[in-house]
Amino acid sequence: MSTNPLDNKAQAWSALFSEPMSELVKRYTASVGFDQRLWRADIDGSLAHAEMLAAQGIIAAQDLADIRRGMAQIGEEIESGRFEWKLDLEDVHLNIEARLTQLVGDAGKRLHTGRSRNDQVATDVRLWLRGEIDGLAALLADMQRSLVELAAQHAETVMPGFTHMQVAQPVSLAHHLLAYVEMFARDAERLADLRRRTNRLPLGAAALAGTSYPIDREQVARSLGFEALSQNSLDAVSDRDFALEFAAFASICMVHVSRLAEELVLWMSQNFGFIDLADRYCTGSSIMPQKRNPDVAELARGKTGRVVGHLMGLLTLMKGQPLAYNKDNQEDKEPLFDSVDTLRDTLRIMAEMVGGIVVKPEAMERAALRGYATATDLADYLVKKGLAFRDAHEVVAHAVKAAMQQGLDLAQLPLATLQGFHAAIGPDVFELLSLRGSLGTRNGLGGTAPAQVRSQIERHRARLA
């Protein structure tokens, strides 16, 4: 058995170091506590690198066989929790490489030929993130499906649409829910787009300048499923813009989730009473026995803060770094990991919770009736009878004022009273003043009419099938 230069950390660098690292510095500089979750990507990347080295005649076929055997065992050790992670060995890369050399000897020492931890870590993070992106894409689709299926039951359920949080015009609940489907669909597009830029291979950049070994980067890219090679070695090891893009995507997506969560919280409150959330997503109060609190929705809203914070953290991490690799970049991992974990759990729980929403259509309808939501319809009616819109607007303002004074809805005013505001008003007005009548007239693309909403539901179903 040969000696292993990675037996302790000072020796991992070189014989140049004569003094051991202090415990504090060791802890401060180590990343193994969090970057060990990159282990599978690290092993996959190393195997692809070793296969290429063997194919190029840079290491022997026997070395490759030894490396494969060692890595298979390391993979098992890690999966079963038997692997001994050492702080002394700083990070996931050195831990795995040291164990490999312990297991297979010299072949392990040859693995690092033609690469550096700088291109290795950039490769690992991209590989890992690519896998997470695919998982998140599936969850975003589930989230959309869950909203679409709830919407499918409510194309005719009328609720108030709001502007300024004031009752504005009637919309269907389905239309409201489908607004979120549009947001999540754009999030999915953003995710697919940033996946392409994440999926480029940095390996081959070595420390910063490339390598003098006759490596075959195309082969490594093919075996790892990267769709392109990074074209500049300095850029390859130093930029983390793929992580920034991901954090920006995650932030936008969490902001969408947060708006939905906020609405669910409002809708469940006694003042709205629009919906009920299943008990399993609520908690009680330790002091007020009557309480059922929408904690899951509130936390989804609250966790948006940390994900947006991670975007700020990552942007700030990059902004002052000179080319090429700097140790600063080790700080990219925790915010990225936490963004992925938070978004994943949030999408999963929100999609489930949406599926369990109990809608109270009467409460929604009552609320829509309270705010003169069809006033615009009356104005539009008068325009169709020949009035200029501004004049019609004025006539309706008077009608609404009168109705308010009498505590009535517009549709409850007698025809004669309405005609007192303008002679052009006829008995056909009542159809429009009803919530459903109003809904039905907004029948252009993107409008809230049930026919439009149903065709949107079909489009989404086909798209998400």
Catalytic residues: 164, 285
DSSP strand pairing (275-276 vs 358-359)? antiparallel
Out of 4, 31, 169, 374, name the contact with ligand ARG by CB under 6 A. 31
Judged by CB, which is closer to ligand ARG: 117, or 176? 117
Q: Residues near 253 by Cβ (< 8 Å), separated by ≥ 6?
A: 140, 184, 187, 190, 343, 347
Residue holding tokens 């392409």?
A: 196
* Shortest distance (Å) from residue 16 CB to ligand ARG: 15
Do you know the residue count of the chain?
Answer: 465
Judged by CB, which is closer to ligand ARG: 164, or 327? 327
Rule CB under 6 A: say whether 330 interacts with ligand ARG: yes
Say how far apart CA 365 and CA 372 lie, in whole Å: 12
* Shortest distance (Å) from residue 92 CB to ligand ARG: 7
What are 138's two structure tokens? 């599936």
Please state the φ and ψ torsions of residue 196, each to the nearest 5 degrees: -60, -40
Out of 112, 115, 117, 145, name the contact with ligand ARG by CB under 6 A. 117
Subset of 369-408 contacting ligand ARG (CB under 6 A): none
Judged by CB, which is closer to ligand ARG: 121, or 364? 121
Rule CB under 6 A: say whether 144 interacts with ligand ARG: no
Subset of 77-116 contacting ligand ARG (CB under 6 A): 91
Q: How many residues of this chain bind ligand ARG (CB under 6 A)?
A: 10
Rule CB under 6 A: say whether 221 interacts with ligand ARG: no
DSSP strand pairing (200-201 vs 158-163)? unpaired
Rule CB under 6 A: say whether 258 interacts with ligand ARG: no
Rule CB under 6 A: say whether 327 interacts with ligand ARG: yes
* Shortest distance (Å) from residue 203 CB to ligand ARG: 13
Judged by CB, which is closer to ligand ARG: 118, or 211? 118
Judged by CB, which is closer to ligand ARG: 128, or 325? 325
Rule CB under 6 A: say whether 175 interacts with ligand ARG: no
Judged by CB, which is closer to ligand ARG: 294, or 313? 313
**Torsion region of 387: left, alpha or beta (phi above 0 gives left; psi -120 to 50 gives alpha):** beta
Rule CB under 6 A: say whether 452 interacts with ligand ARG: no
Rule CB under 6 A: say whether 329 interacts with ligand ARG: yes
Judged by CB, which is closer to ligand ARG: 118, or 144? 118
Rule CB under 6 A: say whether 121 interacts with ligand ARG: yes
* Shortest distance (Å) from residue 340 CB to ligand ARG: 16
The answer to whether 144 and 151 are in contact (CB under 8 A) is no
Please state the φ and ψ torsions of residue 160, each to the nearest 5 degrees: -75, 135
* Shortest distance (Å) from residue 118 CB to ligand ARG: 5
* Shortest distance (Å) from residue 58 CB to ligand ARG: 22
Q: Determine if the peptide bond prior to 61 is cis (ω within 30°).
A: no
Piece of 80-88, 154-162, 322-330, 423-431 that binds ligand ARG (CB under 6 A)? 322-330
* Shortest distance (Å) from residue 78 CB to ligand ARG: 17
Piece of 117-125, 166-174, 188-196, 374-382 that binds ligand ARG (CB under 6 A)? 117-125
The answer to whether 200 and 227 are in contact (CB under 8 A) is yes
Rule CB under 6 A: say whether 143 interacts with ligand ARG: no
Judged by CB, which is closer to ligand ARG: 310, or 460? 310
* Shortest distance (Å) from residue 29 CB to ligand ARG: 9
The answer to whether 41 and 124 are in contact (CB under 8 A) is yes
Residues that bind ligand ARG (CB under 6 A): 31, 35, 91, 117-118, 121, 325, 327, 329-330
